[in-house]
Chains A and B, each alone.
Chain A
Amino acid sequence: GENVEQHPSTLSVQEGDSAVIKCTYSDSASNYFPWYKQELGKGPQLIIDIRSNVGEKKDQRIAVTLNKTAKHFSLHITETQPEDSAVYFCAASPGGFKTIFGAGTRLFVKA
């Protein structure tokens, strides 16, 4: 089955700096890669996603890249703000409604 590894587990950056979170997956059949942000006491919220027919996608300060050959994908947050502080999860979906989540990255943005 699919296995998703996520690094780092904790990331601390200064406000205004960039943050990068990396994930790898094992199942070459996976074709959908969402990223979720989870704030304290809330459920995960989708922030961006990418499909396997696209190499890069950007939405304002957030971008995701996908390398199908290497089976890895990354989340890039530019000009970080304190409100970006949260836990971020990558995920991979091999289809059939199943989504496998990474272990999560706790991002701290220091003002």
Chain B
Amino acid sequence: SAVISQKPSRDICQRGTSLTIQCQVDSQVTMMFWYRQQPGQSLTLIATANQGSEATYESGFVIDKFPISRPNLTFSTLTVSNMSPEDSSIYLCSVDMSGNTEAFFGQGTRLTVV
């Protein structure tokens, strides 16, 4: 199993600003994933982050808006840039320990943009 810590757990931000969310895992993992969960909705994959390479973004998400860092095998950050109220969501970090098996999630970051 894996223990995933996300920071911050919640934040209220002004539109036009940026927020960086941190994800720390208690063991080394190859793949880390960032999801967005809009209020009352399901989880939508934003991007997949591999250590040592550029993140792979899903359709509808771009690096300029959601830059991702993956400096080592236990840590990743997601930045939500130039925020607007439409970015208000829960952002979740996830890891897959060994490929196509159980995914572990952090507790999420609840972002409100005013």
Some 15 contacts from A to B, beta carbons below 8 A apart, are: A34-B102, A36-B105, A41-B107, A43-B94, A43-B106, A44-B105, A45-B105, A46-B102, A46-B104, A89-B42, A95-B100, A97-B31, A99-B103, A101-B42, A101-B44
Q: In B13-61, which residues have CB < 8 Å from any A CB?
A: 31, 33, 41-45, 48
Interface of B is mostly: strand
- Please measure, in the bound complex, the distance between the C-alpha atom of A95 and the C-alpha atom of B10, giving whole angstroms: 32
Q: Does A61 contact B (CB under 8 A)?
A: no
- Cβ B107 vs Cβ A103 within 8 A: no
- Please measure, in the bound complex, the distance between the C-alpha atom of A104 and the C-alpha atom of B4, giving whole angstroms: 22
- B100 CB to nearest chain A CB (Å): 5
- Cβ B107 vs Cβ A31 within 8 A: no
**Chain A residues within 8 Å of B68, by CB:** none
- Cβ B100 vs Cβ A102 within 8 A: no
Number of interface residues of B (CB under 8 A): 23
Q: In A9-44, which residues have CB < 8 Å from any B CB?
A: 31-32, 34, 36, 41-44
Tell which of B45, B48, B100 touches A32, judged by Cβ atoms closer than 8 Å. B100
- Cβ B99 vs Cβ A97 within 8 A: yes
Tell which of A43, A49, A97, A103 touches B102, judged by Cβ atoms closer than 8 Å. A49
- Bitwise, B74-114 to A at CB < 8 A (1) or not (0) is 00000000000000000010101001111111111010000
Tell which of B41, B94, B106 touches A103, judged by Cβ atoms closer than 8 Å. B41
- Cβ B92 vs Cβ A43 within 8 A: yes
With contacts A32-B100, A44-B105 known, what are 8 further pairs, Cβ within 8 A?
A36-B105, A41-B110, A43-B92, A45-B105, A46-B103, A97-B33, A101-B43, A101-B44
**Chain A residues within 8 Å of B42, by CB:** 89, 101-104
- Cβ A43 vs Cβ B100 within 8 A: no
- A76 CB to nearest chain B CB (Å): 20
